[in-house]
Structure 1
Amino acid sequence: MSNKPILYFLCTGNSCRSQMAEGLGKEILGDEWDVHSAGIEAHGLNPKAVEMMNEIGIDISDQESSIIDPEILNNTQLVITLCGDARENCPVLPKGVKSEHWGLVDPAKAEGTEEEVNQVFRDVRDEIKNRLMELKGRK
């Protein structure tokens, strides 16, 4: 573990939202935070999330879908849940760990044409990016 504070993104399956948040977090906050993501379950990395991140020059194809790691959780300074399921089912946070909830649409459940589905992924990706820029400004 590095000496930087840990930022932990949590979601249901650690396949889309939290994976995009991890990639964006490393890009935007990587000099200040040690960024990780995990899920209540591990559903595998969503190929559409990889594709939409590649559009903005961030490669998340090497990231792995994983379940919450108690060691990382116990050393985290900030937990950000990205869906209601993660917020409700997240293990009890250790004392002193701050948490925020960013309720985001699940792009994996988007329906419609390929372009419509892609747009939902882009919207979620861009929302995460905007919130991370705000977080960076708060530090």
Structure 2
Amino acid sequence: MTVKTRVLFVCTANAARSQFAEALLRHIDSEHFDAFSAGTAPGEVDPRSLAELEHLGIRTEGLRSKSVDEFAGERFDYVITLCDKAALECHALPGAGAVLAWHFEDPVISTKPDAFRHAAQEIAERIKIFVLVKTKR
């Protein structure tokens, strides 16, 4: 049995971007990765996030907005922040291996049409590259 790489995705509210990242990484490669998400100031998962994931055929069971505090003391191989604000707040998470800062526009506050679809697509593309690089042997 191989040990899975543990990845924590963090954004501010844990309402859209980090939810997308958690669900997409699980969908793309749950054999090699355990995916989690949290927020620095968690609220509720935006229903449009769940609708977009369901539209893509990705399971949403168990997705809920969580605080980074829930993961205190846990070890992660990667902590990946998905917005500049979270990057500033998460630079010193104990138990974090590598900390990566990705930035995606927040679809919750975007005025662009199809913001949730675009955010999910952009995050999926980045995760596919991450998986490809990290699983290359």
TM-score, normalised via structure 1 length: 0.87
Unmatched segments (≥5 aa) in structure 1: none
Residue 137 of structure 1: how far off its partner (Å): 1.0
Unmatched segments (≥5 aa) in structure 2: none
The letter for the 2-side match of 1:27 is H
Distance 1:21 1:51, change over 3 A: same
Cα distance in 1, alignment partners of residues 23 and 29 from structure 2:
10
Cα displacement string for residues 47-77 of structure 1 (whole angstroms, at most 9, x for unaligned residues): 00001111110132531100012123xx100
Cα distance in 2, alignment partners of residues 131 and 62 from structure 1:
23
Q: Is 2:30 aligned against 1:30?
A: yes
Distance 1:32 1:89, change over 3 A: same
Cα distance in 1, alignment partners of residues 95 and 115 from structure 2:
36
Distance 1:77 1:109, change over 3 A: same
Distance 1:95 1:62, change over 3 A: closer
3-state SS, counterpart of residue 108 of structure 2: helix
Cα distance in 2, alignment partners of residues 14 and 123 from structure 1:
17
Tell me the equivalent position of 2:77: 77
Q: Which runs of 4+ in 1 moved over 6 A?
A: none
Residue 136 of structure 1: how far off its partner (Å): 1.2
How many residues in Structure 1 have an aligned counterpart in Structure 2?
131
Tell me the equivalent position of 2:45: 45
Cα distance in 2, alignment partners of residues 3 and 70 from structure 1:
21
Residue 93 of structure 1: how far off its partner (Å): 3.2
Tell me the equivalent position of 2:15: 15
Cα distance in 2, alignment partners of residues 20 and 26 from structure 1:
10
3-state SS, counterpart of residue 35 of structure 2: strand
Residue 95 of structure 1: how far off its partner (Å): 7.0
Cα distance in 1, alignment partners of residues 115 and 95 from structure 2:
36
TM-score, normalised via structure 2 length: 0.88
The letter for the 1-side match of 2:7 is L
Cα distance in 1, alignment partners of residues 59 and 116 from structure 2:
15
Percent identity of paired positions between Structure 1 and Structure 2: 29
Tell me the equivalent position of 1:129: 124
Give the alignment's Cα RMSD to 1 decimal: 1.8
Q: Report 1:100-111 matches (<5 A).
A: 100-111=100-111
3-state SS, counterpart of residue 52 of structure 1: helix
